[in-house]
Chain A
Amino acid sequence: MNWTWFHKLASPPHFYRIAGRLAPWFGWPAFLLIVVGLYGGLVLAPADYQQGDGFRILYVHAPSAWMSMFIYSTLAIAAGIGLVWRIKLAHAVAAASAPVGAWFAFLALATGSLWGKPMWGTWWVWDARLTSELILLFLYMGLIALRASIDERERADRACAVLALVGVVNLPIIHYSVYWWNTLHQGSTITKIGKPSITSDMLWPLLVMMVGFTLYFAAILMTRLRAEVIRRERDASWLREGLAR
C-alpha cells in the first residue's frame, strides 16, 4: 500500500497549509449547527413533563460530556500512534487536544451543577456521571501538568503518551467503579441527574448540538495544531521562508 500520501500529510509545512484551509470548513458549519441546535433546544423543543424548562441545559451538558470523553479517546489514540510509529504530528494532536478536552469536561461539570440547583436545590451532587466527569477532568489536568513539567519536548510527548494510554485503560475501570459506588448509596438524596424520556422533537436538537460540537472541536484542533506546528518547528527553514514571504 502506498503510504506516501500519509507521510506527506504528516510533514509539517504541508500539514500547516492544509490545516489552515480546513479550519473554516469545520468552523462555519459548526457555528451554524450550534446556533440551530440551541434554537431547537432552547426554543422549539417542548418543556419536559417532569423537569419543566430546566432540562434544557441538557443541550449543552450532554454534548460537552460526550465531547470530553471522545476527545480523551482521540488523544489516547493519537498519542499511541505517536509513541509506536514516532510521528511528531500525532504527538502534536495529543498536545493540542488536551486543553480542549479539559474545558469540555469543565463545561459539563459546570452545566451539571447549574442543572442541579433549580432541580434539587444544591449546587453539587455526587451523581455517578458528574463524579466520573470530575475524575476525567483530573486525568486531563494530570496530562497537562505532566507536559508542562517536562522541558524537553520529545520526552514530554512520549511521557504524556504513556500517561494517556494508562489513563484510557483505567477509564472503564474508574467509570464502572464510580457507578457501582453510586448505586450503594441511593436514597438519601436524589442522586441521578436523570435524562428525561426523550421524544423526537427533543432529540434532534441534541444530535445537532453533538455534531456541531464535534465540528467545533475539529475546527479548533486545526487552529491549535497550526500553532503547535509553529512552536515545534520554530527553527525550521520552511517556516522562516514562509514568514519572510
Chain B
Amino acid sequence: MPRTSALQAMTLTYRRDLVLAFRHWEQVAQPVVFFAMVTTLVPLALSPELNELRQVAGGMLWIAALLAALLGLEFLYRADHTDGTLEQMLLSGQPLGLLAAAKTAAHWTACGLPLVLVSPLLAVTLGVPTEALCTLMLSLALGTGILSALGAVGAALTLGLRRGSVLLSLLVLPLAMPALIFGARAVDMAIQGEVARGPLLLLGAMCVLSLTLAPFAVAAALRISLE
C-alpha cells in the first residue's frame, strides 16, 4: 500500500495549519495588535521625545515582539489537543518531530511573520531611522523563529494544563533571553549606523540550533503530555 512520505506529510500539515489559522484571522491579528499596544506603552511611560525614544527603541521593540510572540504560542497545540487531532498525528506513523516542525513553521508564518512585517511601522514611531529598519526586520525574523522553536517545546510540555499560558511564559522567557540580548544589540547598532554583523550572525546560529534541536524535544514532550 503506498504511503505518504514524511515530506508530503510535512507539507500537508504546514498547509493545513495555515488554512486553519487564516480561517480565524482574528486570532492571527491578536499578537500584532498586542505588539502595537505595547510599543505605544513605551512613549507613554517614558517620554514623547523621539531622541530619547531612539535610545531605548531597539530593546523596547524586541521586548514587545517577544511578549507578543509568547502570546501567540498558545494557539500552537491547544485546538488540536482539544479536538483529538493531535493524538491522531501521533498515531499517523509519520515522524512526530517532523510533523511538529511543520506545525512550528506554520505557526511562525501565521504569528511571527506578521510581527516582523509590522515592526517597521512601529519602529518609526519610536524614532528608528530608515537605515536601521532592515536590520530590525531581520533580527526579529530570526528572533521570532527562535521563539517559535523554543516555545513549541514549552507549549508541548504545558499541554492541557490549567493556566498553562502563564506557566508557558515562565518556562520560555529565560530560554529566550540570549536571543533578546543579541537582537536588541543588533538593532541598537543599526540605529547608530553600524553594521550589526556579529549579533545577527549569532542570532542566525541560535536560530539554526533551535530549529534543528527543538523538534526532538517537542516530539518527546508531546508523547509525554498525551500519555
Contacts and interface: CB of A to CB of B under 8 A. Distances in A.
Note whether A and B form a binding pair.
Answer: yes
A39 interface: no
A173 interface: yes
Contacts of A83: 220
Interface stretch (A68-76, A178-186, A219-227): A178-186
A159 interface: yes
Interface in A135-164: 135, 138-139, 141-142, 145-146, 149-150, 154-155, 158-159, 162-163
A162 B174 contact: no
Given A142-B171, A149-B158, A166-B217, A154 B227 contact: yes
Nearest to A176: B178
Interface string A164-178: 011101100110111
Contacts of B221: 159, 162
Contacts of A177: 177-178, 181-182
Contact of A162 (B173, B181, B213, B224): B224
Interface in B111-161: 150, 153, 157-158, 161
- Summarize A's interface: helix, strand, loop or mixed: helix
Interface string B100-116: 00000000000000000
Given A135-B174, A149-B161, A150-B161, A158 B224 contact: yes
A146 B157 contact: yes
Interface residues of A, number: 29
Interface residues of B, number: 27
B175 A166 contact: yes
Contacts of A176: 178
B90 interface: no
27 contacts: A83-B220, A135-B174, A138-B173, A138-B174, A142-B171, A145-B170, A146-B158, A149-B158, A149-B162, A149-B163, A154-B227, A155-B224, A155-B225, A155-B227, A158-B224, A159-B221, A162-B224, A163-B171, A166-B150, A167-B174, A167-B175, A173-B178, A173-B206, A174-B177, A177-B181, A178-B178, A184-B185
